[in-house]
Amino acid sequence: MLLGGLECGGTKMVCAVGDEKGRILKKETFPSLTPEETMPKIIDFFRENSVIAIGIASFGPVDPDMKSPTYGYITSTTKVHWKNYNLLGTIRNALSIPCGFDTDVNGAVLGEVTYGCMKGLSNALYITVGTGIGIGVYSNGALLHGMLHPEGGHVTVRRHPDDTFEGNCIYHGDCLEGLASGSALDARFGKKAEFIKSDDPVWTFESYYLAQAIVNYILILSPEKIVMGGGVMNRTELLPMIRKDVVKLLNGYIHSPKIENIDEYITASALNGNQAVMGCMKLAYDAACSS
């Protein structure tokens, strides 16, 4: 069964062809320019590869409500060219094949619970720390939606007493994303995370903010495992700092072997950056089976 996966990110669009076992047979990446520039390339890629269904996992906010007239739209995004864009409808109309649709981070958590290090779990959390910050939630064996979908990057966190950066979220200023995302690091320094020195105090701030959010996610969602990804998390010194801060902030309140074994409870992905596009394969497979 030849399936298509489209991972829509703020800076790039990852198109892949694979199968229901999560094997990726072909992959191509296009920059996230305007819809007019980017979408024809995406459509041509899937048309040329004769996929029978496509799974789409997109940056958001998006409308995941199948009953809504704007189902499949990218809605109030900060990426102005994509605001209120009918992503799902454009692909469906062009290719006339079944399509599954969700957020990029829900795609990532679906990839992990289907093929990765969270396989077999009923409650799992994926956190991406990249250009923005987002969470994908798998709760009681299903992707979590609701009024919209989880927007964990825009939660409020307590400011570090030594941090004077005002935050750069255009909606909330100093929310988690406004303080700790890759774009926030760019705004602080005028350079990307990989070029910031390891001993810079900003990593203390970064860990402090992310750990606060994770503690809240643990207390509210009670995930069985947490996987962290995204470009900022390529800084290898950051994950051990976050684990330490999470334990400190929980302060013994949660009694669980998982917290005691924090190195295995909060981990990096084992899917080599393919977790979201592999989740798209699962979305495509489910769409094909239900059509």
Residue 101: beta bridge partners? 56
Find the mean pLDDT for residues 154-182. 96
Same domain, 23 and 144: no
Q: Give 77's pLDDT tier (boundaries 50, 70, 90).
A: confident
Residue 59 pLDDT exceeds 90: yes
43 is in which domain, residue-wise? Answer: 3-104+273-290
Q: Helix 238-250 to helix 202-221 angle, to the nearest 10 degrees?
A: 50
Same domain, 264 and 129: yes
* Domain tally, the chain: 2
Same domain, 36 and 92: yes
Q: In the chain, what percentage of residues exceed pLDDT 70?
A: 100
How many whole angstroms from its chain centre is CA 207? 18
Same domain, 238 and 282: no
Domain assignment present for residue 110? The answer is: no
Same domain, 261 and 279: no
Q: Rg for the chain (alpha carbons), in Å?
A: 19
Rounded-to-integer distance, Cα 123 and Cα 146, Å:
16
Domain assignment present for residue 111? The answer is: no
Same domain, 88 and 154: no
Q: Which residues of 267-280 are buried (b: 16+ CB within 10 A; e: fewer)?
A: bebebeebbbbbbb
Strand order in the sheet with 12-18: 24-31, 12-18, 3-8, 53-58, 99-103
Calculate the average pLDDT of the chain.
Answer: 96
First and final C-alpha spacing in the chain: 14
CATH of the domain at 53: 3.30.420.40
* Residue with the larger pLDDT of the pair 148 and 52: 52
Q: What is the pLDDT of residue 45?
A: 98
